[in-house]
Structure formats: C-alpha cells, structure tokens
Amino acid sequence: MAKRVYELAKELNVSSKELMDLAKKNNIVFNSHMASITDEQEKVLRNNFMKKNNNQNKVKDQSGDTKKIVKKKVVHHFIKNKKNNDHRRTNFNRHNDLHGEGRILNLDNPRKNNRPQRKQVTKNIDDLNHKKTQSNNINLQHENSKGERKKEPIVDKKKFNNSNKKFKHDDSKNSTLMTSMPKPDLNKSSKSSEEKKSDKNKNQSRDRKKEYTNNHEETPYKRQKKIKFNKKQQKIKQKQEAKEAAAKPVRKEKPLPDVLVYEEGMNAQELGKLLHREPTEIIKKLFMLGVAVNQNQSLDKDTIEILAADYGIDAKEKEHEDIADIDKFFEQNEEDDNGNLVSRPPVVTIMGHVDHGKTTLLDQLRNSHITAGEAGGITQKIGAYQVNVKGKKITFIDTPGHAAFTAMRARGANITDITILVVAADDGVMPQTLEAIHHAQAAKTPIIVAINKIDKPGANPDHVIEQLAEHNLVPEDWGGDTIFVNISAKKNKNLDELLDMVLLQAEMMELKANPDKRAIGSVVEARLDKGRGPVATVLVQGGTLHIGDPIVIGNTYGKIRTMNDDHHRSVKKATPSMPVEITGMNDVPAAGDKFVVFEDEKSARLAGEERAKRALLAERSRTSHVTVDNLFDTMKQADMKEVPVIIKADVQGSVEALANSFNKIQVDGVRVNIVHQAVGAINESDVTLAEASNAIIVGFNVRPTAQAKSQAESSGVDIRLHNVIYNAIDEIESAMKGMLEPVYKEEVTGQVEVLELYKVSKVGTVVGGMVTEGYITNDAGVRLIRDGVVVYEGKLGSLQRYKDAVKEVKAGLNLGLTIANYNDIKVGDMIEAFVMKEVPVE
C-alpha cells in the first residue's frame, strides 16, 4: 500500500511541510500532506534526507568537545551534588538539537536571517574556549587558598547569550551591572565569617538562578508568550498609573469672574460652578461668615452678595426674561430697521351709528351682499375684508354700530390706520357717531367723513358738517384738515372718490412693515366651529404668517393648521395688513387679543400656559373678601337678588357684548350673575350647569343640540334664543324686574257716614249708614275717623244691603256693615274704604 506524505514525515521525524519543501526541490510536487507517495519518490526523498542529516552531523562533531566542556564547567561552577542535573542538561541539549540555534536567532532578530551561520558558530566556539580558561584559573585559585573561601568572579553572561539570545533585555542590565563591579582580590581577606556566610548564600542563590536559566532554555512559543505577558503587565501598570494620576489630579484654579451673575435661590454647588471653586470651599467660606448650609440648600440674595464680597468681586442678580410678555414683540416691531421695511396696504375701519349704511358701503366696495344675511338688518360682529382698488389693496374692518358693541369698535380703532366715519345725511350726528369719533381720536388715526344717504329726501349734508365741526372735525373747505365725501352707498354714488381719498391718505402716511420676520398681529374675531374647533380671524400687523407656525394668541397657544382669506380660499402665508382665518389653537381666544409667532412649539406652549395661569390667578384675585371697610357693602349685596345667566353666542365679540350689556342693566335690588360664557352651540353640559345653578341660558345666533333640547325640557331649564342683541337685553331686564318685591300703593275707594248703630248679640255693633263718596267693597280695608282723627284701621267684617250680603255698594245707597274685631263706633263717625294696588317697577 502506498504511503502518504504525513506518514513518511512521521518516520523521518520531520514536519510534513519540510518534507514537501524537500520534495519540491527534487521536482516532486504534492498537493497536500494527504497525497500518496510512490516507491520511487520515497526512495529519492529518503536518500536526500540522509544526505542532509550527514551534513548537520559534521557540524555537530566540530563543536561537540566544546559543548561538553561547557556542560562540565556549568555543573562544576553552579550546581554541586544535584542528581537531576544531568537529566535537565540532557533535555536542554535535546531541545536545542530539535529546534536549532538559527531558529532562535531568527525570532529575536529577523534582520540577521541572511547572514551565514558557520561564521557565527565559529565565533561562539572561540568564546567558549576563553571561558574554559577562566574556569580552570578559578579552580586553581580555590586549591591554593587551603580551604579559605573567596568570592567567585562573576562571569560575563553576554558571551553566553551571543548564541542563545536569551532574556535580552534582562541580560543587558545584568551585563552592565557585572562589568561595573571590581574584580575580587584573592590575596586579601578582610571580611568576617558572618559576612562570608552571607555572601556564600547570595552566591548560591545567584548560581541556582543561572543554572535554571541555562537548563530551561526558552522555545519560540515560550518566547512569544513571555513577550505577550510582559506587554500585558506593562499595560496593566500603565492603567494603574493613569488611575493614580486621576485620583490625585493637579487642579488648575481658574480665575474668579469679574462679576457674579446669580439667581436668588441658588445653592453652593451652582455657585461653585460660577466661581470656578469647589462646593466644599463655598460651604467653608459661608461657615466662616456665620452661615451653616449644605451644598443643596438654597441661598437668599443677601447671602450670595456677602459671599461675592468676601471673594472681592461684584454681584449682580440675573434679569429674567418674561416668556409670557408678548407686548415686547410689538415694541420691537416699531424699532425695525428701515432697510427691511416695505410698503403695506392700509387698514381702514368703517365706523358710525347703527343703520347709517356702513355694511352697505362695504357691500358695494366688495360686490357682496352681507346685509342680506344679517339679522334685523344690523351688523352684530366685526369683520375684516381685503379689496383691490386700481391695483392696490385696502383692508376694510366693518364694526357694529349698536351701543352694545362699544368694545368691538374700540378694537377696530386700535388696529386701524384710517377711520371712515359714516354719517347719515337725514339723521345727523347720533350717540354712536360721537363714540366712534372719540375712539378714533383716542387711537390718533385720521378720520375721513363719508356723509351717506344723500339721495334720500330730507337729506341735509350741510347740517351734518355743522354738527361735526363742533367736535373738531372741520372740513378742508372751511380751513380744517378733515376730508368730507358725500356718497350714496345704495346708489353707488361717489364711491370712487372716497377710495381715491383713502389711497391718497395712505400714501401720505407712508405705511411700511417688515415681512422678513416672525409674524405679530391682533385677533379681529374668534369663534368655535363644530368641525374645525377654535377659529380666529386675525390681522397680520408685521412679519409673515405661515401654515405650521407655533403661535400664542392671548391666553391660548397652538400650531397653525389651516389658513383662509376673506373669500374662504386656502392660503399658505399672510403678509402684513392681510386678514386671515386660522385654526389650530387649543382654545377660543378673546377678540382683541394680540398674537405672536414663536421660534418653536415648546416655547409657544410654555408662554401660552404661563399666560393662562396668570389670567386664572387674576380672575381669582378679583373675588372680594369681607373686611371692616366693605362690611356694609357686602351685607347689602347679600340682600340683593341675582339672575344667574349662561351666555352662548356664535362669536367671541358677541359674547363680550352681551356680558357687558347685562352687567350694565341697573335694577335696584337685583343684579345679573353670569355663571358661564362661551362660543358655540348650546350643549348638554350647558344644560346641566344651568340646572345646577338655576340659571337661564341665553343663546345668541346659536341653537341647542337635539340632546340638549330634550334634556332642557325634561329638567325644566329655560333656554332663550335671540338673533338681535337688544331683544336679549330687554328680556333679561324684564326678568330682573320681575324678581323684585312687589310695590303696593294705597287707593281710597269711598267713604261711609255712620247714621245708626245696632247691638246684636254674638255679632257686635252693626253700623247703618250711607255711601257718601265712591264705593266700598267687601274685601276693602277701612279706617274709622272721628273728628278728623283715625281711631282704628282694619278690615270689614261683613257688608250687606238690607238682609243680603253684597260685594260692593256704590255712592248714594244705604248699607249695613260691621268692622272685624272692633265695636267702639259712634254715630257721626266716618268710615274710609281703601284698597292696596301693586305698582309696576320701572
């Protein structure tokens, strides 16, 4: 059976790789160590391997004697009377024979692989001969000393290590140490016996180490393992040193700041960071100053300032920026750089008395029909629209003219640039006309007077001019600065002239805004939509408003989800002076609130929640408590009756107008208590609240849901629905008056003269007399008058005519009567009959 490569290698005591390399040199190629070998190939390989062994044996023969000398010398010099010595040396030599010296040299210094090995071996043999001579000299000196022990000379290990290269880094150190030591003087004996004994023990220990090192020669594997072990130990040592360095850091003290900017309530740990000092140092400083604290205890303002003074620096309290203050953004808007400003459309507010034609004028300008859909033909909510006139845009704000909408008109005047005052030529100046003038003058906006209804018979524009001149609105024809335009909104007369005047006034005012910043503005109107939630009509006053902007509106906040213009078309952005309808707030804002766009949603949420919290605290603080000063007023209010009311309306402005109007109703002894007010339809929660508080629900331009209606009917809650504001006000006023105690007024109905008296047992005195004036009824009150003095006042006991009881007896007729529980009546007395009638409250 043919042999395989690894089997032949095992027989020849070589590795498979070496055998395959030898075969390759003889032009025999094997694929792997499992390949089969023919008899001829085996014969060739065995012959070549024998030749190679013979050459190696020749080299060993030349150096054999020397090696024996080295062994002999080592045994004689280092170890005496050791039985296992020969065995250990034999293993050592066998180990060297197996691996060879050249292989150790290759591991230690791979750069010397190409150098010839024979030269090195010759050098090693010369070194060993020299060592033999030294060893013989030492033995000779031991014999001549006659038993006196001397310190043995130290052999230079460097010569042995030239061939083995063993423990190179350790041997180099030992070599340096050995060469520096002086040679022993054999003729000198100056040490005591104890010192000699100690030296002997040291030499024996050193000899054992040397013998162990020579007899346990390292293999390449052990060499590599030791190198790895040394590297690992070195890394561990480095880590330990690094830990020790970290445990004892050399801290460089930073200089103290020039000014300590602090916040009240900071602790020692926080102050240490500001002062670049350890908290323990701060605590120690404070303790020395008489303040015992720990590192987490809050410090007051005075303590922090004393600490800063002790360090020799100034202290300044940090100024907190109020995130809930949105007015600062409007102040910054006024300070915008002129280089970023661009022209913007004017904002024009139409104001005037109710039914003077404001909305009709706006209808003509917008080509719309707003008035056709208004209840009672009057505007009851504020609206914002934008109109294109000759390629230029004008934003119009339509305000109600009714007395209840004062707050709406004030809001319109505050956000406007120009005010158009509409006055009917046939009515002249009315109360709301004067109010509109005062709002515009307070807002310092220019007024353009539009005298409307000049087409009606009886119109007198000159009379209107005279009335307005009394209120500092003098026309330009009279030397004033107020523009007057005679128009007819219904007939579309002179409207172009009015618009030209508006554009001229706007051009003179040079209205500008910065569109390249976050938007700010005001809420014109707000409401609650069933499908979309809170909806607000806003007017952008500066910057540009985008969909997705985080926004704070009054006490509410949110992120804009949708944005529509006045024609209900979706838009992605709103530029200055543009009115838009937005959604996305967490609640319905109040009309007239300011809005600001924040940088991110988180800051907007924080600002909105803080503003809502402050508004709630302000509302709670308005609750009056009983004091000595207001004790009597409180007692008086406790005696007053209340009409609890829940207000629901379509828009926030109407809710505000109704609440203000109800609070202004003055009826002695009765007041309105607004339990709840909100926008949106009347729902079940409103009915439940009304049932609990015994309130009346007033709905303005809203209707109850089906569930709320059935719940109100079953629980007996009164729901009053209106679409004209003054009807709602009149009804609440009537309810307040109906709660008053009835007022009665005495009315004298007649007089009876006593003519005769009859004493009847079990009845008393019966009066026979005649009605001289008026009439007397059986339920009337009576007064007995004698000589002009009222003797008694009481009730009739009975009233008869002849023997029949009657209800009433008129003047000129005889009658009989008795007075209940009174009999002291005399002939000639006068009996006065009267009744108490209820008087209606005015």
Residue 86 in marked binding region: no
Q: From CA 504, how far away is CA 499, in angstroms rounded?
A: 9
Residue 146 in marked binding region: no
Residue 676 in marked binding region: no
Residue 410, exposed/middle/buried by CB under 10 A (0-12, 13-18, 19+)?
middle
Residue 357 in marked binding region: yes
Q: Which amino acid is at 52?
A: K
Place of tokens 């423990």: 167
DSSP 564-594: E-TTS-B-SEE-TT-EEEEEEESSPPPTT-E
Q: From CA 636, how far away is CA 640, in angstroms rounded?
A: 7
Place of tokens 């059935």: 710
Residue 399 in marked binding region: yes
Spacing of C-alpha 628 from chain mean position: 44
Residue 353 in marked binding region: yes
Strand-strand pairing, 814-819 and 764-777: antiparallel
Residue 314 in marked binding region: no
* Residues near 15 by beta carbon (within 8 Å), at least 6 away in sequence: 9
Residue 558 in marked binding region: no
Residue 566 in marked binding region: no
Residue 355 in marked binding region: yes
**For 37, phi and psi rounded to 5 degrees?**
-120, 130
In Å, the largest CA–CA distance within the chain is 190
DSSP type of residue 401: -
Residue 352 in marked binding region: yes
3-state secondary structure of 794: strand
Tell me the β-bridge partners of 16: none
Residue 369 in marked binding region: no
Compute the radius of gyration of the chain from its Cα atoms: 60
B/e letters for 418-453, b = 16+ CB within 10 Å, e = fewer, are: bbbbbbbbbbbbbebbebbbebbeebebbbbbbbbb
3-state secondary structure of 523: strand
Q: From CA 256, how far away is CA 51, in angstroms rounded?
A: 87
DSSP 588-643: PPPTT-EEEE-SSHHHHHHHHHHHHHHHHHHHHHTS----STTHHHHHHHHHSEEE
Residue 669 in marked binding region: no
Question: Which residues participate in the annotated binding site?
Answer: 352-359, 398-402, 452-455
Annotated binding site for GTP: 352-359, 398-402, 452-455
